[in-house]
């Protein structure tokens, strides 16, 4: 099976073979820095996705690998800006290479097509790619991908003057299905609150999604729709299998990913989910019509505070994943409809770590969220009628157990 993806722990052997093959090739067009500690290399890759390897001459970079039945055939590096160091002059946005035995099979072309889609999704529509003037194979690949030769420049490397062809690829704006979210949706998800290498490990080494959940997660990723991250998914699957709730309430459906995941993990439960954004409601309903085969899920369109006030049932599990500043407003309504012993899980309570800082350090436009979350903590963490715990999964989960019929939130 062919997959283009970032590296995971399972790839150590394949990466070693790939690296040895490149080193043995002595290709004059390739610079291959030897990596001896794979774990440390994975940690570095996870960091480079968020920040540059060298603040002065590099940018955040993602490395995607072309894998075929567990072997690595090639790699493409996507640098997400050009401002630093020599990138605009020498390296450009993209670098790629293919292992010798996989050359002439269109792998570089496939990698380039894949990378260009990633640039398009990020709204980077003018992509610079460079190739040494004499590297005919590379230049053909770039031209085939739509590269237009802009200039051939001289540059000096190790005291030698080289000539470098500069190509620009101009991309069309991606035709997005989802209009509600742009590339910068949910920035706190890109500010992990635990070490990036641990996040990477939790996302790649735990059981992966399959079937329609994998399909919906991929759609969400491509269309920037914020859904719970994989480490939270795996935790929910574990928790719900253990608790086997019968009535689940969710605030914040988006396209229905977490609702379908919770329904699958709790086969005897029914689930009510609330969403106010009409575009999300339409997409979620489409997913429920296709994938909620046992009719476990009821979707209610509306502003949560209004919908919650009109619910008449009692729930034993609730998940809040909506406007963060409003959690403290919704919580009393949710607790009123929760059985004693019932659990509430609240997502994204850490604001990328900002919630632990003093108010003066918080950007003004983030302060209402901050205040809402701080009130939520004050009302719940030490409340004698609740048992509460904070978990550093995703952007932070707050879990609450209702211990008494009456709960005074102060």
Ligand X SMILES: C[S@@+](CC[C@H](N)C(=O)[O-])C[C@H]1O[C@@H](n2cnc3c(N)ncnc32)[C@H](O)[C@@H]1O
Closest CB to ligand X among residues 63, 291: 291
- Three-state SS for 60-78 is CEEEEEEEECCEEEEEEEE
For the record, the structure tokens of 264 come out as 């699958």
Backbone angles phi, psi at 153, to 5 degrees: -115, 160
Closest CB to ligand X among residues 180, 336: 180
Closest CB to ligand X among residues 35, 366: 366
Q: What is the CB-side half-sphere exposure of residue 248 using CA atoms within 13 A?
A: 32
Q: Report, in Å, the least distance between residue 165 CB and ligand X.
A: 44
Q: Report, in Å, the least distance between residue 257 CB and ligand X.
A: 3
Q: Report, in Å, the least distance between residue 335 CB and ligand X.
A: 17
Q: Are 33 and 53 in contact (CB under 8 A)?
A: no
Q: Are 266 and 247 in contact (CB under 8 A)?
A: no
Check residue 365 and give left, alpha or beta (phi > 0: left; psi -120 to 50: alpha): alpha
Q: Report, in Å, the least distance between residue 357 CB and ligand X.
A: 23
Closest CB to ligand X among residues 192, 226: 226
Q: Is 34 helix (H, G, I), strand (E, B) or coil?
A: coil
CA 366 from centre of chain: 21
Check residue 159 and give left, alpha or beta (phi > 0: left; psi -120 to 50: alpha): left
Q: Are 326 and 372 in contact (CB under 8 A)?
A: yes
Q: Report, in Å, the least distance between residue 248 CB and ligand X.
A: 12
Closest CB to ligand X among residues 248, 254: 254
d(CA 166, CA 130): 5
Q: Report, in Å, the least distance between residue 180 CB and ligand X.
A: 7
Closest CB to ligand X among residues 208, 385: 208
Q: Report, in Å, the least distance between residue 333 CB and ligand X.
A: 12
Residues lying near ligand X in the complex (CB under 6 A): 226-228, 252, 254, 257-258, 274-277, 280, 303-304, 321-323, 326
Closest CB to ligand X among residues 326, 402: 326
Q: Report, in Å, the least distance between residue 60 CB and ligand X.
A: 23
Closest CB to ligand X among residues 93, 276: 276
- What lies within 8 Å, CB to CB, of 389 at 6+ separation is 398, 399
Which residue number has the CB closest to ligand X? 252
Q: 132 pairs with which residues across the strands?
A: 164
Q: Are 202 and 238 in contact (CB under 8 A)?
A: no
């Amino acid at each position: 099976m062919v997959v283009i993806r970032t590296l995971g722990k399972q790839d150590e052997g394949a990466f070693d073979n790939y690296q040895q093959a490149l080193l043995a090739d002595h290709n004059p067009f390739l610079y291959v820095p030897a990596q001896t500690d794979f774990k440390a290399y994975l940690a570095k890759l996870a960091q480079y996705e968020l920040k540059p390897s060298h603040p002065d001459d590099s940018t955040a970079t993602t490395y995607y690998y072309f894998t075929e039945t567990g072997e690595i055939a090639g790699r493409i590096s996507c640098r997400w800006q050009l401002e630093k160091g020599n990138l605009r002059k020498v390296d450009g946005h993209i670098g790629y290479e293919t292992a010798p035995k996989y050359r002439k099979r269109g792998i570089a072309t496939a990698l380039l097509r894949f990378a260009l889609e990633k640039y398009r999704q990020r709204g980077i529509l003018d992509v610079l790619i460079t190739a040494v003037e004499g590297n005919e194979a590379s230049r053909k690949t770039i031209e085939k991908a739509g590269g237009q030769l802009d200039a051939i420049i001289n540059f000096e490397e190790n005291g030698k003057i080289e000539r470098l062809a500069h190509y620009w690829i101009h991309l069309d704006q991606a035709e997005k299905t989802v209009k509600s979210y742009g590339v910068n949706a949910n920035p706190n998800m890109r500010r992990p609150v635990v070490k990036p290498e641990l996040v990477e490990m939790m996302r790649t080494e735990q059981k992966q999604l399959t079937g329609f959940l994998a399909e919906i997660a991929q759609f969400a990723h491509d269309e920037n729709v914020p859904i719970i991250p994989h480490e939270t998914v795996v935790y929910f699957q574990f928790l719900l299998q253990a608790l086997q709730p019968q009535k689940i309430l969710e605030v914040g459906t988006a396209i229905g990913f977490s609702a379908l995941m919770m329904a699958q993990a709790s086969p005897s439960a029914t689930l009510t989910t609330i969403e106010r954004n009409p575009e999300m409601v339409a997409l979620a309903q489409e997913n429920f019509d296709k994938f909620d085969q046992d009719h476990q899920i009821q979707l209610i369109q509306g502003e949560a505070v209004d919908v919650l006030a009109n619910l008449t049932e009692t729930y034993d599990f609730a998940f809040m994943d909506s406007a963060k500043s409003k959690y403290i407003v919704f919580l009393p309504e949710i607790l009123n409809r929760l059985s004693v012993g019932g659990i509430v899980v609240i997502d994204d309570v850490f604001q990328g770590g900002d919630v632990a800082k003093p108010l003066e350090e918080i950007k003004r436009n983030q302060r209402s969220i901050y205040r809402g979350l701080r009130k939520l903590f004050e009302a719940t963490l030490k409340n004698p009628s609740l048992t509460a715990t904070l978990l550093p999964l995703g952007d932070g989960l707050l879990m609450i157990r209702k211990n008494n019929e009456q709960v005074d939130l102060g």
